[in-house]
């Protein structure tokens, strides 16, 4: 479960597979070369994307302002750019 995150020049790129409308917010585990994340928000008017970033910010202990969707804003497969954290820290925090 280590290929889902890679270092970039300002932090890391995290590849996620999002499952909206789940019963609870959680990191479900590996999903190919991404990590599957279940969120309770519906994919309407960007609500799921906002909820995903809020969930990840809390889980990874970084400010929400240090995160952005690098690609896949309208897809379930997304790449999230995160500043101020290493790939190793992301692996540790998401696999707890």
pLDDT digits (tens, 9 = 90+) for 2-36: 589 999 888 999 999 999 999 999 999 999 999 99
Confidence (pLDDT) at 2: 56
Confidence (pLDDT) at 3: 84
**20-38 b/e (C-beta count within 10 Å ≥ 16 → b):** beeeebebeeebeebbbbb
Please report, for the domain that includes residue 49, its CATH number: 3.30.1200.10
Task: Give the number of domains in the chain.
Answer: 1
Q: Decide if pLDDT at 90 tops 70.
A: yes
Percentage of the residues of the chain whose pLDDT score is greater than 70: 98
Mean per-residue pLDDT over the chain, rounded? 93
Q: Where are the alpha helices (DSSP H) in the chain?
A: 47-60, 87-94
Burial (CB count <10 Å: 0-12, 13-18, 19+), residue 76: middle
Q: How confident is the model at residue 1 (pLDDT cuts 50, 70, 90)?
A: very low
Confidence (pLDDT) at 95: 83
> Strand 34-38 and strand 11-19: pairing?
parallel
pTM, full prediction: 0.92
Range of the domain at 30: 5-94
């Amino acid at each position: 479960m280590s290929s889902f995150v890679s270092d970039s020049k300002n932090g890391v790129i995290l590849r996620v597979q999002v499952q909206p409308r789940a019963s609870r917010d959680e990191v479900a585990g590996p999903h190919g070369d991404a990590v599957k994340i279940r969120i309770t928000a519906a994919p309407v008017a960007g609500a799921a994307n906002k909820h995903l970033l809020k969930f990840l910010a809390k889980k990874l202990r970084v400010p929400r302002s240090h995160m952005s969707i690098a690609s896949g804003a309208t897809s379930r497969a997304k790449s999230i750019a995160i500043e101020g954290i290493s790939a190793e820290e992301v692996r540790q925090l998401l696999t707890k």
